[in-house]
Amino acid sequence: MATSAVARETVFALRRQIAKIEGTLPERLQAPAGAAPVDAPQDPTADVTPKNIPPKNLTIVRRGLAVAPPDAFVRTGAEGLDTALGGGLPKAALSEIHGAATRDAGAVAGFALSLVSLILKQGPRLPVLWIGTAEIFREAGFPYATGLHRLFGIEPEQLLFSEAPRLLDALWTAEEAARMTALAAVILEIRGSPQRLDLTATRRLHARAQSAGRPVFLLRQAGEPEPTAAPVRLVLSAAPSAPRQTIAGPLAGSIGRPAFTVSIGKSRTALPGQFTLEWNPDERSFEERRAGERRQERAANPVPVVSASRRGKDPAPASGAVLAFAAVGSPAAGDQPSPGERAAHRRPRRAG
């Protein structure tokens, strides 16, 4: 019996240590019935029921994140999503926002800018750094400056861009930027499923974000869900916008607020779920669309979609000029566009 009691106490002590490392859960982790607390005096006549265990001997456990004040989360304003995430997206962490197809790049970017708007509304209006490779900005373009201010309240000079020639350079830039407290947030946009974006790289980003107390948003464009160190992964796609509301009612044929279909792909504290959110540009917050108000979801695209790249070392090089007829002085096949021609690729993307 004595050996059994010692074994129970040892197991419970290990459980307490693991709970402290992992964080906290809403329920209390209590000692087994009949077992005294590890650091309590061994009195055979003492009552060891849970109600008499001192509070200091109870460990509150919650997977993934430690108990934190409400300002440790980015609350979206959509009660259902915030409740499912245990308070919202963590500020000091790496969060993954995933778009399954290239056509979802605008929705992913718009959702990320919405989160940045919420962060800037809560704290000091520091600049935000957006990092990506040349392939990213060539494929999806840059955010529209006028839309930044009108929809998200972000001044164009607050959004800084870093275009890296290689993915390795983009990851290095993101790691260095993630440790800076002079930035409100860091956005790293990656296309496909490159081999260098592994658990080691994302662990470094997550650790830097925790140390600096600033969020790092990993935007995945046309990639496959893969293991990362991000505590939360949200899968984004565009949702049909509801008609614009007027005093006389909905305006037929109009386009209302930007809408997003948000799925919880991975979370240490939440169960999988799907929500339809609308971004309110006036209040700078999300509103959850009720089930009765949901419009028909986007129909399946009958046109085949190009599959995402899988575990490649580096993105494909830039394509040369494509012309219906060869022009005099046109570049040869395989040549890179000149800096003047390359600026034409920098078109604004749709955010939302």
Over residues 71-87, the mean pLDDT reads: 90
Token output for 11: 């197991």
Tally of helices (H runs) and strands (E runs) in the chain: 8, 17
The pLDDT of residue 319: 55
pLDDT confidence bin for 66, thresholds 50/70/90: very low
Q: For residues 236 and 108, is the Cβ–Cβ distance under 8 A?
A: yes
Whether residue 55 has pLDDT greater than 60: no
Burial of 27 by CB count in 10 Å (0-12 exposed, 13-18 middle, 19+ buried)? exposed
What share of the chain in percent tops pLDDT 90? Answer: 44
* Dihedral angle computed from the Cα positions of residues 245, 249, 250 and 256, in that order, rounded to the nearest 10 degrees: 0
Instruction: Give 210-258 pLDDT, tens digit per residue.
Output: 999 999 999 998 888 889 999 999 999 999 988 988 888 888 888 899 9
Higher-confidence residue of 244 and 315: namely: 244
Coil, helix or strand at residue 310:
strand
Sign of CA dihedral 326, 330, 332, 337: negative
**Nearest C-alpha neighbor of 87 from the set 102, 68, 64, 100:** 68
- Average pLDDT estimate for 10-34: 57
Q: 263-292 pLDDT, tens per residue? A: 999 887 777 889 999 999 999 999 998 765
Q: What is the mean pLDDT of the chain?
A: 77
User: Whole-prediction pTM value?
Assistant: 0.68
